[in-house]
Amino acid sequence: MTDLAVDSEFTFELVACRWAEREWPPDGPRADAVLVARQVGTRKRRWDTLVVEADPAGLRGRDLLGPDELDSDLLHVVRHAPAEWAWYRDALPHPGYPWRYVREAIHRAAARDAVETRRRGNRIELRRVAPYPDWISRVVAIENKPDLDASAARALASQIRYDVDCGLLDEVWVATRATDESVPAVLLEEFPVEAGVLAVDPLSGTAEVLWHPSRLSPDDESEDRRTVIAERAYGRGWRSYVDTMRPDCRHFELTEVGGAFVPHCAAKGRCQTNAECAGSCRSFEPEPPGWRTRGWPIEGGPGKGIRSLLERRRERVRGREREEE
């Protein structure tokens, strides 16, 4: 595989996510379970790579509430759902918005088996299926900038400053491509000193710490927002990129780079970005029906196989992160 395989930020980001999944933390032994997601965050800021360090027992407790993320409305219900049946208005604190929205959230939570509900007359009662655990240890953001030159470093500096100051994160990193030459110190000086800098070699899937970050102190009042962010990471992971691409195109392939499966386009002869791999792509061609004959329509063609391969990998990692020491 030539270096051409990692000529986009998108591919670099996938390799960085896989590296984090395998090797996190970069500067010591792994003490907690690790969840890695890409492109999750808040309305103001989405992070390229988000690492949530989690208590393995807490994570197993979280699994009892289903595999999908809980948004803030669902969290309000699930966190306060009582152990014994109770009318929802007695059980849940007033959320500061109309109760009808709470009822909608209760129905959504019940549809996912995250709480139980029943009707007593015209009252809705609920009880929990499991307590919402304290599972989040640390939330860490990594900004990926493979080609770090002076203007890229300058453009990034204010974003990194925001990340350091936002009160939501425990640590902030910038990941850049490892090169034979050392990264000029003047570039690193553009970033706040609290942010760490990693040099990732996308071909070998290894990384080296160039600058150690400071531990930040998230604001106490940001706990709910941190939980929402961690929930997004929990539900989405980083392999869901395939959902917005065209694995059903005959040219879509997965190739292994730096230990990660990344999309590769046979028509373009390179790794495509997720933006260009869409129905509007001029080279898009549906996979021929003949490719689907084995097991089709139950198992589908190669496109569907790619999805399930990524899903199996995700499940394997999920299982490993929950194992007891």
Note the residues at the interface with ligand SF4 (CB under 6 A): 246, 249, 251-252, 265, 267-268, 272, 276-277, 281, 283-284
Nearer to ligand SF4, 67 or 289 (CB): 289
Give the burial class of 22: count Cβ atoms within 10 A of its Cβ; 0-12 exposed, 13-18 middle, 19 or more buried: middle
Nearer to ligand SF4, 134 or 285 (CB): 285
Give DSSP secondary structure letters for 231-292: HHHHHHTTGGGGGGS-TTBTTEEEEEETTEEEEEETTTTBPPPTTTSSTT-TT--BPPGGGG
CB of 265 vs ligand SF4, minimal distance in Å: 3
Rounded alpha-carbon distances, angstroms, from residue 237 to 66, 74, 263, 284: 15, 19, 16, 27
CB 239 within 8 A of CB 313: yes
Nearer to ligand SF4, 281 or 317 (CB): 281
CB of 42 vs ligand SF4, minimal distance in Å: 30
Nearer to ligand SF4, 53 or 248 (CB): 248
Rounded alpha-carbon distances, angstroms, from residue 321 to 22, 30, 51, 303, 324: 10, 11, 13, 28, 9
CB of 308 vs ligand SF4, minimal distance in Å: 18
Nearer to ligand SF4, 64 or 267 (CB): 267
CB of 245 vs ligand SF4, minimal distance in Å: 6
CB 239 within 8 A of CB 262: no
CB of 216 vs ligand SF4, minimal distance in Å: 39
